[in-house]
Structure 1
Amino acid sequence: MASSTVTSSQPDRPPRPNLAFRRLRGRRSPAEFAALVRRAAREIGERVSCDARYVGRVEAGEIRCPNYAYERVFLYMFPGRTLADLGFAPRSSVRGRGARPAGDASPPCGTDPVPTAGDTGAAVKPYDTQDPYETHENHEESDVLRRAFMTGGGATVAAALGPFGLPIDAAATPADRPQRRAGSTEATALEEAVRRIRLLDDRHGADGLYRRAAAPLRAAYALLDAGATRQATVDRLHSGAGELAISVGWLAHDSGRFDDARSHYAEALATARVTGDPALEAHAFCNTAFLARDAGRPREAVRAAQAAQRVGRPLGSARLMSLLALREAGGWAGLADRTGCEQALARAHALFARGRSDADPEWMTFYGEAELEGLEAQCWSTLGDWPRAARHARRAAEVQDPHFTRNIALYTAELADDLARGGRPDEAAQAGLRVLELLDQVQSSRIQTMLAGTARVLLPHRRALGVSEFLERHASLPRGV
């Protein structure tokens, strides 16, 4: 798809009503059904702005194929059905692509096309800030992001992530920066850039994305310099810039650039303190604690996690406090303090059991049972309790949403390492092979480092079932993969 002209979301022919979707609504009103969609989205960590109008547009056939967020929600609500079963058209038929060669079947709606060498995707259209989850441009843009990311289309990724209408060129001079004051459109674009980075990271890992994410961050702080006329917009800009700094910091963290990550987290923390934003401050401390643990500074990890809990407690989110307790547990494990670790883990589980609430920060959508299990596995691994670590890592991989490929690879790599160190080389090799199969979709230095460690542990066990195959395939990986 070297080039593409995006067609209107309203085809020339009259839309065909989606009777299959209408039957699924049953006797519920459109508003009642929309509420069920939003509830299902929350259960799987998605964000959709579904209302009665959206349901009506789907049933009228105006929305011929949903975007990827709605796709995941609908398939979760109606297990065993495909999007075709729900009355939607193939995704390729609503993207304005040229005619396909005879016999080249279009992929079903919701199926990601396979990128080809040199394919950098189509030009990105401006985002519809009034209804960002319903536009045709969003379908095209989501595809462009994934294809450009996996094929290394740097310019396209930068353009797709950058807040629209803002300079994101690294060489931009002060004269190139926004001269007019920012408004709600720019604030919305900034918030959306954060969501896109998180989505791509969840699916593919950080390595290929980090190199392209610095420019949108510069654009975000250029917005702060330009100012805004309304205080509400100023607050949104500060919060958005701080969250973007944390997201870029995490990309640096996950790709092994610890010094860069520390700088970005510090920038977010400073932004939070300047504006008196406790939610942003808690998030910055949370990530700082995680980084300190990974960088071999466990005492700092404990202190940062405890600071996050102090500032985050008044926010009223049990899930946030549960995650922060896990961050503290990781620090205690690094200090070889089993009692401190167990106490923090107990708090994390008790708080997690209280369930979700409206007070939960948006960035915490990743934190579910799988992440809880995965972080606990890391604690037991650090303490050298390999069997216990393996049980939690296995559970994490089993319950993780299949769309989050990066996390599945991470938890399975953790499982492989725990099994290898726990004296179960054959099972470790099988888990390692599963991770290798995912590396064409995931780019994460963290996962690659874990696999390399597992391979070293398994070297003396070459003759065990499956170990030689794992070692040979791992050794054949291209450098940097």
Structure 2
Amino acid sequence: MVSTGAVPNLAFRRLRGPRSAGEFAAAVRRSAREIGEQVACDARYIGRVESGEIRCPNYAYERVFLHMFPGATLADLGFSSRETVRGRGARTTAEIPDTPLPPTLQSDSDEESDVLRRVFMTSGTTAMAAATLGFGLGATAAAAAVPAQRPTQRRVGEAEVTAVEKAVRQIRLLDDRHGGDGLYRRAAQPLRAAYALLDEGTTTRGSTSDRLHAGAGELAISVGWLAHDSGRFEDARSHYAEALATARLAGDAALEAHAFCNASFLARDAGRPRESVRAAEAGQRAATPLGSPRLLALLALREAGGRAGLGDRSGCERALGRAHEAFGRGTRDADPEWMTFFREAELEMLEAQCWSALGDWPRAARHARRATQLQDPHFTRNLALYRAELTTDLAHAGAAAEAAAAGHQVLDLLDRVQSSRIRAMLAGAVGVLRAQRGSPEVAGLLERCAEMGV
């Protein structure tokens, strides 16, 4: 686990300069190739260094960093000495993910190509990995996942696979209730453990192997979503690419469709609408043979969102039409488990976002209002999200008093929901409403937002 006393590495952050974490990671990989090293550097690794989680790099990274910055020492780069970090007994599981990838998994392209990062390899047995999957399950379930008396276990079986699947469900449940901000760091640990099981489970075959690959991929998507919801877009993109690579390696079309679905959503939110459309289209191709109209409906909505971001109203309307047609065909046994959130309320919400992207604010507000009316209160995070969308649409449509009332409803939920995305949406709506601060309803919302730091 990461120490709560981690000190940010400001020296290393200054060396990155204006480059994004992903761009800097690509420069690290290029430098590694120049000296014959192999490192699996991506935006997540750079973030861990800058946050102080990695206090000293392993030897491979040390050689690369000193090559990149001639004449510098580790201290100049903001690192602690190896003796203070990794003396006897100091090598903990928090440091193990520094391990570089095998050469066969390296790629010369961008950070999304560094997939299937093999963590816990140097000392991670399947026993340790499965125990780590106790995230949110309680100590008893974690212990049951793998017996403590078998520390050298290599075979992965039903108990370990079930632990991965339970971790996925638990993360989704907590996210539905609380949002991603407080969960992301915790959820990264079971993800590493799941991929450690893939690394060491060489004797796993048949349906158990298929389930393990699917579970690890779904876990990568879930952790990616937590990163997405908490504003860590580069981390999310890396996690989704990891899931996509797992799907391709396992020949799992359902996992591939899910990865493309989330990648499309992320691209839309990150301001890359053309990429959003392409990912949604790829997801639809993967999903077509699966027999789930609801999955095709969601992917069509992802495409509609991307086309709206491009200003393509007619293309957006065509995609929305396909989404409604597929949704109207009802549920099927083939519908993926992760789609429990996709009900009529979500369809209305996603359509509202399309119209808001196209600047049709009254129409967007009608759909957002419908979404809030239909939403199951069990999905607390989504209820806050839909109300934030409604606040935004009403503010732009000129319905200041109603927008302020919706804004208060969002604030009522923020003590239970930790989502940077929702707070950013509400802050944007409040910015629009400031022009009408003379309204007593708006003035009251502005005052409360200031008190809550929104």
Give the TM-score, by structure 2 length.
0.67
1:302 is matched with which residue? Answer: 277
Q: Given the alignment of the two structures, is residue 220 of structure 1 paired with residue 194 of structure 2, yes or no?
A: yes
Q: Tell me the distance in 2 between the aligned counterparts of 1:386 and 1:166.
A: 53
1:393 is matched with which residue? Answer: 368
Q: Tell me the distance in 2 between the aligned counterparts of 1:355 and 1:178.
A: 48
Shift of 1:181: 1.2
- What amino acid maps onto 1:329 in structure 2? A
Q: 1:392 to 1:159 in 2, by over 3 A?
A: closer
Q: Tell me the distance in 2 between the aligned counterparts of 1:388 and 1:157.
A: 45
Q: Which runs of 5+ in 2 are unaligned?
A: 1-131
Shift of 1:203: 1.0
- What amino acid maps onto 2:439 in structure 1? A
User: Conserved in 1, the CA contact under 8 Å of 2:161 and 2:208?
Assistant: yes
CA-to-partner distance for each residue in 1:183-242, whole Å, 9 max, x for gaps? 011111111110111111111111001111000000000110111433221111100000
Q: Given the alignment of the two structures, is residue 164 of structure 1 paired with residue 142 of structure 2, yes or no?
A: yes
- What amino acid maps onto 2:299 in structure 1? L
User: Conserved in 1, the CA contact under 8 Å of 2:297 and 2:327?
Assistant: yes
2:31 is matched with which residue? Answer: none
For 1:9-28, what aligned pairs fall within 5 Å after superposition?
Answer: none
| 3-state SS, counterpart of residue 452 of structure 2 | coil
Q: 1:159 to 1:321 in 2, by over 3 A?
A: closer
CA-to-partner distance for each residue in 1:337-359, whole Å, 9 max, x for gaps? 00000000000001000000001
Q: 1:156 to 1:299 in 2, by over 3 A?
A: closer
For 1:275-424, what aligned pairs fall within 5 Å after superposition?
Answer: 275-424=250-399
User: Conserved in 2, the CA contact under 8 Å of 1:157 and 1:212?
Assistant: no
2:208 is matched with which residue? Answer: 233
2:102 is matched with which residue? Answer: none
2:166 is matched with which residue? Answer: 192
2:412 is matched with which residue? Answer: 437
Q: Tell me the distance in 2 between the aligned counterparts of 1:178 and 1:381.
A: 56
- What amino acid maps onto 1:362 in structure 2? E
Q: Given the alignment of the two structures, is residue 262 of structure 1 paired with residue 218 of structure 2, yes or no?
A: no
For 1:106-117, what aligned pairs fall within 5 Å after superposition?
Answer: none
- What amino acid maps onto 2:224 in structure 1? G
Shift of 1:453: 0.5
User: Conserved in 1, the CA contact under 8 Å of 2:134 and 2:167?
Assistant: no
Q: Which runs of 5+ in 1 are unaligned?
A: 1-154, 169-175
Q: 1:208 to 1:465 in 2, by over 3 A?
A: same
Q: Tell me the distance in 2 between the aligned counterparts of 1:161 and 1:307.
A: 38
Q: Given the alignment of the two structures, is residue 447 of structure 1 paired with residue 422 of structure 2, yes or no?
A: yes
Q: Tell me the distance in 1 between the aligned counterparts of 2:262 and 2:231.
A: 14
Q: 1:306 to 1:177 in 2, by over 3 A?
A: farther
| 3-state SS, counterpart of residue 164 of structure 1 | helix
Shift of 1:158: 4.1
Q: Tell me the distance in 2 between the aligned counterparts of 1:325 and 1:161.
A: 39
Computed over aligned residues only, the root mean square deviation of the Cα atoms, in angstroms, reads 2.1
Shift of 1:179: 3.6
- What amino acid maps onto 1:322 in structure 2? A
Shift of 1:161: 7.9
1:32 is matched with which residue? Answer: none
Q: 1:356 to 1:249 in 2, by over 3 A?
A: same
Q: 1:464 to 1:427 in 2, by over 3 A?
A: same
Identity %: 69
User: Conserved in 2, the CA contact under 8 Å of 1:178 and 1:222?
Assistant: no
User: Conserved in 2, the CA contact under 8 Å of 1:166 and 1:219?
Assistant: no
1:469 is matched with which residue? Answer: 444
Q: Tell me the distance in 2 between the aligned counterparts of 1:418 and 1:284.
A: 29
Shift of 1:477: 1.1
Shift of 1:426: 0.9
Q: Tell me the distance in 2 between the aligned counterparts of 1:166 and 1:259.
A: 35
User: Conserved in 1, the CA contact under 8 Å of 2:133 and 2:190?
Assistant: no
- What amino acid maps onto 2:142 in structure 1? F
Q: Tell me the distance in 2 between the aligned counterparts of 1:388 and 1:315.
A: 33
Shift of 1:180: 2.2
User: Conserved in 1, the CA contact under 8 Å of 2:237 and 2:266?
Assistant: yes
Q: Tell me the distance in 2 between the aligned counterparts of 1:366 and 1:379.
A: 19
- What amino acid maps onto 2:359 in structure 1? G
Q: Tell me the distance in 2 between the aligned counterparts of 1:344 and 1:232.
A: 36
The one of 160, 177, 181 aligned to 1:203: 177
Q: Tell me the distance in 2 between the aligned counterparts of 1:398 and 1:411.
A: 10
Q: Tell me the distance in 2 between the aligned counterparts of 1:431 and 1:157.
A: 38
Q: Tell me the distance in 1 between the aligned counterparts of 2:392 and 2:343.
A: 23
- What amino acid maps onto 2:243 in structure 1? A
Q: Tell me the distance in 2 between the aligned counterparts of 1:252 and 1:296.
A: 16
CA-to-partner distance for each residue in 1:369-391, whole Å, 9 max, x for gaps? 01000000000000000000000
| 3-state SS, counterpart of residue 476 of structure 1 | helix
Shift of 1:177: 8.3
Mean Cα deviation higher: 450-459 or 239-248 = 450-459
Q: 1:166 to 1:385 in 2, by over 3 A?
A: farther
Q: Tell me the distance in 1 between the aligned counterparts of 2:145 and 2:420.
A: 30
Mean Cα deviation higher: 463-472 or 250-259 = 463-472
User: Conserved in 2, the CA contact under 8 Å of 1:167 and 1:219?
Assistant: no
Q: 1:262 to 1:156 in 2, by over 3 A?
A: closer
